[in-house]
Chains A and B, each alone.
Chain A
Amino acid sequence: MSQPKTIVEKIWDQHVVHQEEGKPDLLYIDLHLVHEVTSPQAFEGLRMNNRKVRQPEKTFATMDHNVPTLDRYFIKDPVSKKQIDTLKANCEEFNVPLADIGHPDQGIVHVIGPELGLTQPGKTIVCGDSHTSTHGAFGALAFGIGTSEVEHVLATQTLWQNKPKTLNVKVNGDLGVGVTAKDLILAIIAKFGVRFGTGYVIEYTGEAIRNLTVEERMTVCNMSIEAGARAGLISPDEKTFEYIKGRRHAPAGEDFDIALEKWKALATDEGATYDATVEIEAAEVEPQVTWGINPGMGLPISANVPSPNTAKTAVEREEIERALEYMGLEADQPISSVKIDHVFIGSCTNSRLSDLRRAANIVRGKKVNPSVTALVVPGSQTIKLRAEEEGLDTIFKEAGFQWREAGCSMCLAMNDDIIPSGERCASTSNRNFEGRQGNGARTHLVSPEMAAAAAIEGQFVDVRKYSAPTLSS
């Protein structure tokens, strides 16, 4: 038998176009996702050099970052409008398929890729967006790139890449009741830090990962970049294949069976070795809330905000002090005592139908605290429609949530959904950087369930103790 390989090595070897001593490998890209923010300068570069898009049919574009969530067709900011119009014009000029702002397929690029069946096991997938790691949930090698690389892929369908090191993040046992995939990934980053994945591709393994649904796996892989890893993936299994089957761009009929044979061979072989391995016990993970200004500054809901006195280095001490000041928190205060002004349920981390269902289960029959403004932004127009068919919108609206159109929205506040300075948001998104949700805004990252419960209580609460129909058992 040949040498056992990891899934990363298998995908890599299948995509090397050219290899040369002392150079990175020239890697073929199967799917290039494009959005309005990181692409205009790339298309302009093509124009300036009289170049074409090599494989328009392996390219797919949508608009998400700037899209208004109240009235999609009314973009107040003329600069945002120009960026949106530019993508449309570029797609027309270069024949790139586009889910335009009014198209029923429009949505967050990392939500619609999987939804349309474009995302498939074994593919190399890139996008000018760091959360491209999301697609790794299907056993694809998916990573974010800058605009120069976007231009390079448009022109050549390839990228020069050094073969990455592999990091096995092994999650033993299973998550407790009321503890979600979001809590798991936040706990992993809190435990190992925001740079433990730098230079690596993470493969998530272990019982807890196998037990996650495909949509939960997307939440985990999505935040690989917050651990420093450009890509994070999970070996595909029956759940993955079942999720893809029947989707519009998935292989159909006989082609599906042929693809399935290839997909089944992708999983990491028994005995394959990684460059590094870390382990975490799933049973020890509690619902998480971040307290600070990077995703590694996370805590279990039962814990207190840290004190600068616990810092091991001067730089760390300065970081904690600056985070406390920015976040308006006291050292040692219980995180559960923190009162919030806003709740945002959405983003490429947590805006899929299953996320909305679980949040709705917490909200059902309750009212949003009068001190809180709460927003639900579905990840795609398709999800919005399906949620409405199930009546989820009614549950949210009756509780006092606003029900919006699909887009990135308050995750990074490039549209009009901005948190005012000094105000505090429980957010299901992926980054709590300073100013991320608005200049001076204070972001706490949580799961959809924790966000929903916080909306009702007006402060953070352990969702496991929170009375909700689904948690009564």
Chain B
Amino acid sequence: MEPIRKHEGLVYPLNRANIDTDQIIPKQFLKRIERQGFGQFLFYNWRFEDDGTPRENFSLNDKKYEGASILVAGENFGCGSSREHAPWAIQDFGFKVIIAPSYADIFYNNCLKNGILAIIQPEEVTEKLIEKAEAENYTLTVNLENQTIKDSTGFEVSFDVPEYHKEMLLNGWDEIAVTLTHEDKISQYEAAQN
């Protein structure tokens, strides 16, 4: 996976709580056997009418958010299914960072495994970011190394990230290769069970 250290990008605000994986990527698009190409289906049923024309009242279709790479949403983002197609769709669409008050556990892990930085911020902060991004063209700079989020007007907050996750993201490591350095321990464990 691609390492992520520092990212500056346009914010897209999606002011909804409990956004589930069926909304992020509806089930009819889970049939592909590749990892790529899911971005076109992101939030499909919210973005498009039944006949495939873009819905005017869904904000992601608004030109002002074109090229956005930081998604700010409400709490419990990514609840529901374990489908990794959800982070694949988010990433393929162009998002590199998500900021929300909380995430579903499986979704959070899936982001990490794909090099998407999922940041937890208190609701006061996410609400403020959403408000700003709804009002104006709003850009944030996210720095994983020193764990900060900044805008151009002096706003700055820090965020927590478990050390192991940080290391994985900064280096873009292949986790299986890391695990296989402990293969002797796995074999010992298996031998002891038999």
Q: Mark A residues whose CB is within 8 Å of B.
A: 17-18, 22-24, 26, 28, 37-38, 40-41, 44, 49, 51, 54-55, 65-66, 77, 79-80, 82-83, 86, 128-130, 132, 143-149, 151-152, 155-158, 160, 162, 194-195, 198-199, 225, 228-230, 294, 315-316, 318-319, 322, 412-414, 421, 431, 433-436, 439-440
Contacts and interface: CB of A to CB of B under 8 A. Distances in A.
B80 A130 contact: yes
B186 A436 contact: no
Interface in B167-183: 174-176, 179-180, 182-183
B79 A195 contact: yes
Interface of B: 15-18, 20, 22-23, 26-28, 30-35, 45, 50, 74-76, 79-84, 87, 102-106, 109-110, 113-114, 162-164, 174-176, 179-180, 182-183, 185-186, 189-190
Given A28-B189, A40-B33, A145-B82, A414 B28 contact: yes
B186 A146 contact: no
Given A22-B163, A230-B106, A435-B26, A152 B176 contact: yes
A148 B75 CA distance: 24
**Interface residue SS majority, chain A:** loop
A316 B15 CA distance: 11
Contact of B22 (A54, A65, A157, A433): A433
A421 B45 CA distance: 12
Contacts of A152: 175-176, 179
A129 B81 CA distance: 7
Nearest to B33: A40
A83 B109 contact: no
Contact of B82 (A80, A146, A228, A436): A146
Contacts of B82: 38, 128-130, 132, 144-146
Given A41-B34, A440-B50, A23 B186 contact: no
A125 to B, nearest CB: 14
A120 B28 CA distance: 33
A154 to B, nearest CB: 9
Contacts of A66: 31
B186 A148 contact: no
| Top 6 A-B residue pairs of the complex, sorted by shortest distance between their CB atoms | A148-B113, A40-B33, A146-B110, A146-B84, A144-B82, A147-B84
